[in-house]
Amino acid sequence: MGLVAHKVKNVDIAVIGGGPTGLSACLELAKHPGIKVALFESESELGGMPRSCHVFFGMRDMKRIYSGPVYAHKLSSAVRETGIDIHTNATVTQIVPDPTGGDHIVKVVTEDGLIQCECKYVLLATGCFEQSREARRIPGTRPAGIFTTGSLQQIVNLQKVKPGNKALILGSEHVSLSAAITLHRAGTKIAGMISDDPFLQTYLFAAKGISTVLGFPIYRGATIETIFGKKRVEGVKVMLKETRKVFEVECDTIVCTGKFRPDASLIYKTGIREDSASMGPEIDINFMTNLQGVFAAGNVLRGADMHDLCALEGRIVAKNMLKEMHTIDKKGLNSMYIRIRGTDPIRYVVPQNLVPERMKGWKTSLWTPGVSMQVHRTLTDVVLEAWSGDTKIWSRKYRRLIANTRVPLPIERFDWDKVDLSKGITLKAFSHRNVYTQGRI
């Protein structure tokens, strides 16, 4: 495949990423036939992550339950029936935003050569990924047989390949249970699950149920001390963090699950502001970044939320883009906004920039996207508080906050009259029961 000269394309909106977020945005935009939209997806098929996932897709956006592949197919076919200019096998390699209000440029590598897409609006919907073994800095040799859930699902569900004979799962998030089911379906035995958090990062009853049915132990408060094996993984040394007791687990496969991070490398060196907490682009309540006309939605904002909330976010961001198109006074992120941030153990809060006068009438629900946060580690008996300077403006008790899982924030309940715009809002989480729980379940 030889790359040929640039083809220049002029559209109103370039959508980057054909997962639930990008596709749902396209469906909303397609209701306005006068608007020219181009969609770029680096894979050969549209659909994003659900293409290789299992069940329980579509509840909040389609009001029906489908398998991941059926859900992805339904969304993609609906978009293919619109007049949207769809490019698959098309990877966006660079965004060159024009901060002065001119056209932004999106550079795309395709099978037919390079495309330079000039547009007034960009939607970044590139999703998220799990942290690899390298990013987790696990010591040991570098043999074959180490996957993330994403790569495991690709080879098992799409390529029908058995990943190995006996696997150890690293992580205890919801997706770790998904990895266990994928391994079981592929005929791979499960040697165990390792959770570095002393509490699991998923529902205890679900983890206990799956581990009992599939017959594997879960080690809490544990970490991999080293991986061994030359060509292929042969086993790992596991250490219980509190007692420092070390034991060996024999396995030829390791699956690194969870620790999701936004796939946001396209924003680097563009002037699009990155939130160091979420590691994704910083956005306002309309999903617009600090650069006029550049929007972002879905899991590129956080890593990771449920697919259906991402899809609903796609619809909302499309409506906001259309609204923005028809607004004459385009200001972007500016002093009208108030910054909200969290302190440890709060991992992030998204969106980061709120508009106080709109927040009083806001309606937070489990069924719609809104302002949400995640914590780093699972906490029990928690008090969550919001402060503006020295003034407490909201607090609520939670029996449990599960790590890396969305916590909707009822911001309409904040005492907005007491908010000091110059000080912003800080969220704090206090856990009053801190029993260390480690060992096998």
Ligand X SMILES: Cc1cc2nc3c(=O)[nH]c(=O)nc-3n(C[C@H](O)[C@H](O)[C@H](O)COP(=O)(O)OP(=O)(O)OC[C@H]3O[C@@H](n4cnc5c(N)ncnc54)[C@H](O)[C@@H]3O)c2cc1C
List contacts with ligand X (CB under 6 A): 16-22, 40-43, 48-50, 53, 91-92, 125-130, 149-150, 153, 175, 178, 263, 266, 298-299, 304, 306-307, 310
Q: Which of 353, 380, 131 is nearest to 257 (CA)?
A: 131
For residues 105 and 115, give the distance between their C-alpha atoms in angstroms, rounded to a whole number: 10
Q: How far is the CB of 312 from ligand X (least distance, A)?
A: 11
Beta carbons of 342 and 278 less than 8 angstroms apart: no
For residues 20 and 313, give the distance between their C-alpha atoms in angstroms, rounded to a whole number: 9
What region does 404 belong to: left with phi over 0, alpha with psi -120 to 50, or beta?
A: left
Between 198 and 369, name the residue whose CB sits nearer to ligand X.
369
Q: Which of 371, 382, 380, 374 is nearest to 410 (CA)?
A: 371
Both tokens of 384, joined, read: 């969550």
Q: How far is the CB of 404 from ligand X (least distance, A)?
A: 11
Between 171 and 342, name the residue whose CB sits nearer to ligand X.
171
Between 42 and 378, name the residue whose CB sits nearer to ligand X.
42
Cis bond leading into 304, ω under 30°?
yes
Q: How far is the CB of 130 from ligand X (least distance, A)?
A: 6
What region does 48 belong to: left with phi over 0, alpha with psi -120 to 50, or beta?
A: left
Between 125 and 267, name the residue whose CB sits nearer to ligand X.
125
Q: How far is the CB of 401 from ligand X (least distance, A)?
A: 19
Residue-wise DSSP of 52-78: G--S-B-HHHHSS-B-HHHHHHHHHHH
Q: How far is the CB of 68 from ligand X (least distance, A)?
A: 7
Q: How far is the CB of 281 from ligand X (least distance, A)?
A: 13
Q: How many residues appear in the chain?
A: 441
For residues 118 and 98, give the distance between their C-alpha atoms in angstroms, rounded to a whole number: 10
Query: What is the Cα 18 distance to its own chain's centre?
Result: 14
Between 132 and 226, name the residue whose CB sits nearer to ligand X.
132
30 burial via Cβ count (<10 Å: 0-12, 13-18, 19+): middle
Q: How far is the CB of 100 from ligand X (least distance, A)?
A: 25
Between 267 and 359, name the residue whose CB sits nearer to ligand X.
267
Between 13 and 306, name the residue whose CB sits nearer to ligand X.
306
Between 55 and 246, name the residue whose CB sits nearer to ligand X.
55
Q: Which distant-in-sequence residues (6+ apart) come within 8 Å of 379 by Cβ?
A: 199, 345, 398, 400, 401, 403, 429, 431
Locus of tokens 């070390």: 246
Between 304 and 379, name the residue whose CB sits nearer to ligand X.
304
Between 133 and 307, name the residue whose CB sits nearer to ligand X.
307
Task: State the Cα angle at 426 between 421 and 429, rounded to 5°.
Answer: 160
Q: How far is the CB of 124 from ligand X (least distance, A)?
A: 9
365 burial via Cβ count (<10 Å: 0-12, 13-18, 19+): exposed
Q: How far is the CB of 13 from ligand X (least distance, A)?
A: 15
Cis bond leading into 351, ω under 30°?
yes
Amino acid at 162: K
Between 296 and 411, name the residue whose CB sits nearer to ligand X.
296
Q: How far is the CB of 91 from ligand X (least distance, A)?
A: 4
Q: How far is the CB of 16 from ligand X (least distance, A)?
A: 5
Q: List C-alpha distances in Å: 343 to 257, 376, 387, 408, 425.
A: 25, 11, 11, 16, 11
